[in-house]
Structure 1
């Protein structure tokens, strides 16, 4: 009986965490909540102001942009690969399909690479579209990633874009339980790519 107040205090202390971990519905950001990041004269991308620049997400030389917010579990990177180099790599691994467009081949190549890194549990159908006049494909993938010996469910939203001289992968991700929360925000990020 004497321990009852301690349990109530503990339960009340956990209440904000429990409420916030349930997602709280979709994130609703206004245009003013985004900042435009310009990478030289190459491209620009709009990302939420709460994301901070980092260099710790991926060490690939093709990475041209990396932003994160660990507290929100939201991450964004952009890879830019020379068109000729990408096509040659895809052809070398016998993955190039002449019946598909360049951007569709690039999408398939990058998704295959992603599947080597994470265990995919769900792959949503790709969506072909134009992003600011550029041919693009958007794909969403759910999976499980092993990070430092711990497995965790993850949700990716990815755009594969055929730029003027390069192929681009714009990838945004979060924990799987937050997919619905960040879905609109991630789509705004992906479709904001501009050359």
Structure 2
């Protein structure tokens, strides 16, 4: 009887872990430019950022992602030249986080996503009294810089980070 009870408890404890680790993803084509696999628990919205070409959310899970694309030729015509994804990240992160309090930044990490160079960073901060965690990736393609910005409440970070990483790593043009 004791053995059966122990097995029952272990099964109950493993169910939430397995359900988080097995999120299904759907590949979303944005315009003619890029693709990103989005967890199937997120739905399209237009309410997160007016500049974003992709916006998905799940308000119950407090899971959000946007992609903002910047055409290099347009940036160049405005006199804005960036040498690499790190330079681009450095150029936007101060403005992006200006409305946040108690900001804590991880250092950026240089990565490759397919053939593209990218940088990733995490930011923890307070926004409207809520502890928020951001997972920010800047991807450089031959013609664009893409800011992939995912966020959630700090308390959901460990649950959602694997999905956010998988989502970002699925990026391709």
TM-score range, shorter chain: 0.7 to 0.9
Report what 1:135 is aligned to: 117
Partners in 1 of 2:80 and 2:150 — Cα distance? 23
Report what 2:53 is aligned to: 64
RMSD: 1.9
1:194 aligns with 2:172: yes
Q: Cα distance, 1:25 vs. partner?
A: 5.8
Partners in 2 of 1:116 and 1:192 — Cα distance? 29
Report what 2:7 is aligned to: none
Report what 1:166 is aligned to: 144
Question: Structure 1 residues 120 and 165 mapped into 2: Cα distance closer, same or farther (>3 Å)?
Answer: farther
Q: Cα distance, 1:157 vs. partner?
A: 0.4
Q: 2:101 aligns with which of 109, 119, 129?
A: 119
Runs of 4+ that moved beyond 2 A: 24-27, 84-91
For structure 2, the residue ranges without an aligned partner over 5 or more in a row are 1-15
Answer whether contact 1:25 1:180 (CA < 8 A) is retained.
no
Aligned length: 156
Q: TM-score, normalised by structure 1?
A: 0.74
1:157 aligns with 2:119: no
For structure 1, the residue ranges without an aligned partner over 5 or more in a row are 1-23
Q: Cα distance, 1:90 vs. partner?
A: 4.9
Partners in 2 of 1:38 and 1:141 — Cα distance? 27
Higher-Rg member (1/2): 1
CA deviations over 1:107-139 (Å, ceiling 9, x no partner): 112211222132253111111011011010011
1:47 aligns with 2:38: yes
